[in-house]
Amino acid sequence: MAFLDNSGDIIIDAVLTDTGRYRLAKGDGSFKIVKFALGDDEIDYTLYNTTASSATADLEIMQTPILEAFTNNASSLKSKLVSIPRNNILYMPVLLENNLKENSKNKTLEMYVIASDSNTEDKIDQTLAPFLFGENFDGGSNIRIDQGIDSDAISPKYTIESDLLEEDYIIEIDNRLGNIVNQSGPAAKVAFIDDDNIASYYLTAGNDKSYVKKNSSVEKSGQVIRGPRGTKLKFSIQASIELNTSTYLFSQLGNTDGTSMTGVTGDVSYIDTTVRVQGATTGAQIDLPVRFIKSQ
The pTM (predicted TM-score) of the whole model is 0.82
Whole-number pLDDT of residue 246 = 93
Whole-number pLDDT of residue 8 = 61
Whole-number pLDDT of residue 38 = 78
Residues of the chain scoring pLDDT < 50: none
Q: Which of 143, 148, 134 is nearest to 99 (CA)?
A: 143
Dihedral sign of CA atoms 218, 223, 228, 232 in order: negative
CB-CB contact of 167 with 204 (8 Å): yes
User: b or e along 79-115 (b: 16 or more beta carbons within 10 Å of the residue's beta carbon)?
Assistant: ebeeeeeeeeeeeebbbbbbbebbebbbeebebbbbb
Whole-number pLDDT of residue 6 = 55
Whole-number pLDDT of residue 243 = 95
Whole-number pLDDT of residue 265 = 76
Whole-number pLDDT of residue 3 = 54
Q: Which of 194, 213, 217, 216 is nearest to 276 (CA)?
A: 194
Whole-number pLDDT of residue 267 = 82
**Sequence spans of domains, the chain:** 2-62, 94-295
SS (H, E, C) 195-230: CCCEEEEEEECCCCCCCEEECCCCCCCCCCCCCCEE
